[in-house]
């Protein structure tokens, strides 16, 4: 019994030594009466491998390529290519406005009607609807017998005047030499004066038909077959908005053949209701908005002193720039008339404020690109927001095309999510 107890104690002791010193060789363990350690125990005793550095699974540390959270790396060239405009934050004035509906129309000061001064047949059509034209461009060519008669009479008067001048010069010389009578000299002078009058009348008639001085001067060098041609020219630069010329068709005298409009500036026709009349005045600046984000500044160029007897509203006309052709006549817009002004310390354009995860943010310019910054906005108007927390005057932020930075940020975050 005692021997069995001693053997059991030795076995337990050997196992304890084996677990405590797993690195002892097998031969040494047998001499000391140590059992081999269990496989699991040996593994547990081995030191754990160092934890791999955290990252995004691409073998680089967090932020190495995608940048820190909320930061976008962009070079100056990339900023310019993306159309992002940067400006320092500054104070401004919030304007309370009243909305008045309006309709876009071509400015009456920038329209022209091209009419046929005489009846004729359309021989050529050189411009068509929607085409851009410069002042003096030929729109169409008419053939008219009356034009041919007017040109022929002018050329005949010109030749008669030249002959009369020659006769006058000869009679003047003979009269001074006492060779011919004074009466013959006076008759020659009268004939020359009458010839000049006929030339002037013919030139005036051709000018009334639309011929320029250069065209009149070139008549003597033109073939007789071209005398019946009358060119219709654009009186202003602009776009062809109407065309009534058909090749081979007859055109009556005084008929409108073309209409040309300069659409680089448009009118906004407004009907100002009585409640808004006290705040409307000629020369006043107005904000005009259209569909989507379309907006521009204009001014009232006309305000009627007379009310419409039915609507009791006053007609007003505002003029807006349209050099890029963004606005089209006939479109519906809204004009915002200023009613009150409130100065604020920090005012940013509406385009500068973006929304990310339900928060109002701006993109602040830094040396590497932009960084997102959360802000708190207060009052607002049609053009901007007051920032009451998170932004100081003088800080440079993206004020135009900031939405492209928001899209770039979303794309970068989506790359981290995989």
Classify residue 65: in a domain, yes or no.
no
Residues 135, 150 within the same domain:
yes
Classify residue 66: in a domain, yes or no.
no
Classify residue 118: in a domain, yes or no.
yes
What is the distance between the alpha carbons of residues 79 and 198, in angstroms, rounded to a whole number?
70
Whether the pLDDT of residue 98 is over 90: the answer is no
Residues 104, 174 within the same domain:
no
Classify residue 61: in a domain, yes or no.
no
Whether the pLDDT of residue 69 is over 80: the answer is no
Residues 150, 280 within the same domain:
no
pLDDT tens-digit profile of 163-174? 888 888 888 888
Residue span of the structural domain in which 116 resides: 112-261
Give the domain CATH number at 214.
2.40.50.100
**CB contact set of 245 (below 8 Å; sequence gap of 6+):** 122, 125, 139, 140, 251, 257, 258
Residues 100, 133 within the same domain:
no
Residues 281, 398 within the same domain:
no
Of 261, 282, 313, which residue sits at a domain end? 261
pLDDT of residue 225: 75
Whether the pLDDT of residue 413 is over 80: the answer is no
Residues 278, 212 within the same domain:
no
Classify residue 370: in a domain, yes or no.
yes
Whether the pLDDT of residue 27 is over 50: the answer is no
Q: How is residue 231 written in tokens?
A: 């060119």
pLDDT of residue 138: 93
Classify residue 317: in a domain, yes or no.
yes
Whether the pLDDT of residue 233 is over 70: the answer is yes
pLDDT of residue 6: 31
Give the domain CATH number at 365.
2.40.420.20
Of 291, 319, 340, which residue sits at a domain end? 340
Question: Residue 101: which of 313, 266, 373, 246 has the closest Cα?
Answer: 313
Q: Are 251 and 119 in contact (CB under 8 A)?
A: yes
Classify residue 69: in a domain, yes or no.
no
Residues 270, 305 within the same domain:
yes
Whether the pLDDT of residue 289 is over 60: the answer is yes
Residues 238, 322 within the same domain:
no
Residues 405, 350 within the same domain:
yes
The residue among 133 and 143 whose pLDDT is bigger is 133
Classify residue 52: in a domain, yes or no.
no
What is the distance between the alpha carbons of residues 243 and 299, in angstroms, rounded to a whole number?
32
As for how many domains the chain has, the answer is 4
pLDDT tens-digit profile of 169-214? 888 888 888 887 888 888 888 988 888 998 888 888 888 887 878 8
Measure CA of the first residue to CA of the last residue in the chain; give whole Å: 69
Can you spell out the DSSP letters for 89-116?
Answer: -EEEEEEEEEEEEEEEEE-GGGEEEEE-
Residues 177, 161 within the same domain:
yes
Q: What is the mean pLDDT of residues 333-359?
A: 90
Give the domain CATH number at 334.
2.40.30.170
What is the distance between the alpha carbons of residues 165 and 151, in angstroms, rounded to a whole number?
21
Of 313, 340, 367, which residue sits at a domain end? 340
pLDDT tens-digit profile of 36-49? 444 444 443 334 43
Q: pLDDT averaged over the chain?
A: 81
pLDDT of residue 119: 86
> Among the listed ranges 12-26, 148-162, 271-285, 380-394, which one has the minimum average pLDDT value?
12-26
Residues 363, 406 within the same domain:
yes
Residues 374, 283 within the same domain:
no
């Amino acid at each position: 019994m005692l021997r069995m107890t001693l053997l059991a104690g030795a076995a337990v002791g050997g196992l304890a030594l084996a677990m405590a010193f797993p690195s002892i060789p097998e031969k040494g363990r047998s001499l000391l009466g140590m059992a081999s350690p269990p496989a699991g125990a040996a593994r547990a005793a081995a030191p754990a491998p160092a934890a791999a550095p955290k990252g995004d699974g691409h073998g680089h540390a967090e932020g190495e390529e995608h940048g820190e959270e909320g930061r976008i790396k962009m070079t100056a060239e990339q900023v310019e290519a993306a159309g992002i405009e940067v400006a320092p934050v500054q104070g401004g004035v919030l304007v309370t406005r009243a909305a008045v509906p309006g309709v876009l129309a071509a400015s009456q000061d920038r329209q022209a009607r091209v009419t046929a001064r005489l009846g004729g047949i359309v021989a050529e059509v050189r411009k068509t609807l929607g085409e851009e034209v410069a002042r003096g461009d030929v729109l169409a060519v008419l053939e008219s017998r009356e034009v041919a008669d007017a040109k022929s009479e002018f050329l005949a008067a010109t030749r008669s005047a030249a002959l009369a001048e020659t006769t006058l010069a000869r009679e003047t010389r003979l009269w001074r030499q006492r060779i011919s009578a004074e009466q013959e000299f006076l008759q020659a002078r009268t004939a020359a004066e009458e010839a000049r009058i006929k030339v002037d009348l013919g030139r005036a008639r051709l000018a009334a038909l639309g011929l320029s001085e250069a065209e009149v001067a070139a008549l003597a060098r033109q073939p007789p077959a071209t005398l019946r041609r009358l060119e219709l020219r654009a009186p202003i630069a602009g776009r062809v908005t109407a065309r009534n010329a058909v090749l081979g068709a007859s055109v009556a005298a005084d008929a409108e053949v073309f209409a040309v409009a300069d659409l680089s500036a448009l009118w906004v026709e407004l009907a100002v209701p009585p409640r808004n009349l006290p705040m409307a005045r000629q020369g006043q600046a107005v904000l005009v908005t259209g569909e989507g984000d379309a907006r521009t500044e204009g001014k009232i160029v006309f305000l009627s002193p007379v009310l419409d007897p039915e609507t009791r509203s006053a007609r007003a006309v505002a003029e807006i720039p349209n050099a890029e052709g963004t606005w089209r006549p006939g479109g519906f817009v809204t004009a915002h008339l200023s009613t009150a002004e409130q100065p604020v310390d920090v005012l940013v354009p509406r385009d500068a404020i973006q929304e990310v995860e339900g928060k109002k943010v701006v993109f602040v310019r830094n040396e590497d690109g932009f960084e997102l910054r959360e802000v708190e906005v207060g009052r607002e108007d049609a053009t901007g927001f007051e920032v009451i927390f998170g932004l100081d005057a003088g800080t440079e932020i993206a004020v135009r095309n900031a939405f492209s930075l928001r899209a770039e940020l979303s794309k970068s975050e989506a790359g981290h999510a995989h």
